[in-house]
Amino acid sequence: MAAAEFAARVLNAVAAGQESGLFTTAPALSPPSAPVARVNLQHAADVLDRSITDLKIQIENYISADFDGFRKHLENALTIQAETRALVSELTAVAVKVEDEETGLQARLERIMREQEEAKHELDTTELLISSLQTVSRCMETSAEYDAAIKEVDYYEAVHAVAQMAEQLEQLPHVSNVTLFEELKKRHEDMALGVRDRLEYVLSQGFQVEANSQTVTITITEEVSAPGLGDIPNALPWKDLGPGAIFEKLGLVVRFLVTTIFGPATTQDDDFVDVKLSFFRVIGSIWEDLSKTIIAEYLGTIIPDEPSQFGAFEGIADRCRKFEDWLVDIGMIVEDQRYLSDYCGQMDVHFAQRKHTKLLRVARDILLSDDHETVVVDEKEPEASFNDLFKSIDGVSDIISTAKPTSRRKSSSNALLRFPKCAISRQTQKLMALIDSILQEAETFNSYCAGRLCATTRDILDLYRAVMPVHNTQKFDLIPHMAIIFHNDCMYIAHRLMTLRMEQPDKLVKALAPESKLVFADLVTPYRVMGERVFNAQLKKQIRNLRECVDNADGFDMLESKRCEIVERAVKQIMHQLNLLAKLWKPILPQHLHFRAIGVLIDEVLVSIIKEVERLVDIAADESQRLNELLTRLQACRDFFVSESTSSTMKADKEKLIRLYVPHYNKFVELTELLDLGFAVIMERFRSGRLREFESEELQRLVRALFADTPLRVKNLEEIGRGGQGSR
């Protein structure tokens, strides 16, 4: 194509653009078919160049005019994109919080709903129980109203009470095998039957029926007199009669029989006398059974249980002897049938037995009381005269088998007999006060009564051993400090039994019969064993609970954030439980035993955690730092070891005590530090012997978990495997 033709076409194109309004250029040249001179061609090229330049300028102006709008739209688009992503992240987090199986809102709502259902069930049960007890109370009141109505012969009120009680019984829950409900139903049946029988009797008195072969005559009595229709009068108890009144009544009965059968004593021939004596002997044959009844229902109930009552009973005993003297004189009984006199002659035996029963009842009431208060005991060191008491007893240990670790035995018997400061139950204090009062009272009696009272003290101590562990089993399981208080009670009683014999005056010892022994030392060991058994069972239970907290973490790997939360929650739970037990036990246990008990629990926790950390196969740098920070929190357990003899702010004292009572504390501290140390420092500590708490295999596992596989690690592992800590 010729240059002129090309230029002409370009000009035509530009001209076409002008017509469409796209460009603003000069008018087109001559048609392409016209011949073009060189000058014109140059001119066309210049025009084309200017047109292109103008076009470029117009395009740039168009873009520049709308640039701010484009940029604003772009910024808005980017902002919307960022906000959308943030909303998506928040929605994802909310979904996790809602749907998480353990900590999600849905799971918590489900647990709350279940707890609400359980609480509602318990509330319904409690309301049913309260309603039942209120109904039972109303039934008892109605029963009392019935008795009062019968006594007043008010049959209208009695019938109303029977009907009212029937309605009340309908309100009771329809359950079987409830003894109280069955007794109330039986009582209602007896009430209904009683009032019916009385009404039938009244009706029978109000009608008279006469019948013959032709007629029947019914006579109605307007007024009915039925004396004695009320309650059967209760006889006055024998023990409430005046002294000897029963013997006056028996004498009247005997005289009535003699007078009725034989008449006045006007005939005194031999046959009459023989018949009379034979009759007396027949009547006298029942005297043994009658005497047993008098003893059981009268004399046995008024036997004194206090020395101040001896005088009153002696008057009754004198009436017994005189009455039997009269029976012997009239020939009704013989000399060896003085059963009442023989019984009264053994008053000291009966007194001792009655006193024994009364004291056991008092002791039982003390043991079964709901008095859960405690008192602090802090006995002073005994006098030197007590030193000889246990010279012959070998191996008397401290309070429990896990006694003070600083010294397992005291060389001084004074220290042995000194009871440490601790808390005991008020029940135990009352019981030992009762035993002291019994022994003090025994001084005033004869040898038999004194010996019997001394035996009563041993029976009370045996009763304690039989009742308390069984009666308080559930309390020991549910309330941790109750088991600890029981342990202190047993140890306090054992301590008192060691010195109780020596505390008694010589007067009591001399008053005892040769066969009676005032010995309590043989009960010391059983009481200590009983206290240790309950104490150790409580420790084992708390150890299980703490181990369960460690096990619930399911390992101590903390690489993921979720795992960090689980492990941290387990450690917080452990610290909370240890802190709670330390606060509960500190005011109860002796100081050294409190340290020992808490030390055992802490040591078990540390051993479990050490094992969990050593099981980790690969510990990243971040994970190692998290573990170090978390395990460092457990070192706050040293605050539990604040001695009364040292300052509570001295860290050195706490460190000394916790290392004394927690055997694995040093190892735990070293493990915590290893998690944050470099390889060179660890090897330096190994060579200097500071890691003796660890076996070679343990150190090798930790090194493999903490550091990557390098020639240096291989070399150091070989050195650790050869051992030789502290050789340099």
**pLDDT of 2-12, one tens digit each?**
555 655 565 56
Residues 325 and 375 in one domain: no
Burial of 595 (0-12, 13-18, 19+ CB in 10 A): buried
Residue 346 lies in a domain: no
Query: In whole angstroms, what separates CA 609 from the centre of its chain?
Result: 28
Going by their DSSP bridges, the two strands 422-425 and 216-220 should be labelled as unpaired
Residues 542 and 641 in one domain: yes
Residue 402 has what pLDDT? 39
Residue 511 has what pLDDT? 52
CA distance 661 to 602: 9
Tokens of 230: 């009320």
Residue 225 lies in a domain: no
Residue 581 lies in a domain: yes
Residues 527 and 540 in one domain: no
Residue 716 has what pLDDT? 84
Residue 720 phi/psi, 5-degree rounding, is -65, -40
Q: Which domain holds residue 124?
A: 108-205
Low pLDDT (below 70) residues in the chain: 1-37, 204-218, 220-244, 260-279, 281, 283, 308, 379-417, 501-518, 644-652, 724-728
Residue 64 has what pLDDT? 76
Residues 170 and 61 in one domain: no
Residue 717 lies in a domain: yes
Give the residue from 517, 534, 551 where a domain finishes. Answer: 534
Residues 528 and 545 in one domain: no
Residues 417 and 361 in one domain: yes
Residues 365 and 252 in one domain: no
Amino acid at position 401, single letter:
S
Residue 606 has what pLDDT? 92
Residue 98 lies in a domain: no
Residue 89 has what pLDDT? 84
Residues 530 and 546 in one domain: no
Residues 206-238 pLDDT 10s = 666 666 666 656 676 666 655 444 444 444 555
Residues 512 and 404 in one domain: yes
User: Residue 87: which H helix or E strand, with range?
Assistant: helix 67-99
Burial of 109 (0-12, 13-18, 19+ CB in 10 A): exposed
Residue 419 lies in a domain: yes
CB 154 within 8 A of CB 106: no
Residues 318 and 412 in one domain: no
Mean pLDDT of the residues in the chain: 77
Residues 414 and 310 in one domain: no
Residue 645 has what pLDDT? 58
Buried-state track 245-275, b at ≥16 Cβ within 10 A, e below 16? ebbeeeeeebeeebeeeeeeeeeeeeeeeee
Q: pTM of the entire structure? A: 0.59
Residue 264 has what pLDDT? 60
Residue 102 lies in a domain: no
Residue 690 lies in a domain: yes
Residues 120 and 49 in one domain: no
Number of domains comprising the chain: 5
Residue 121 has what pLDDT? 84
What Å distances lie between residue 260 and 47, 167, 248, 326, 527, CA to CA? 175, 56, 18, 19, 68
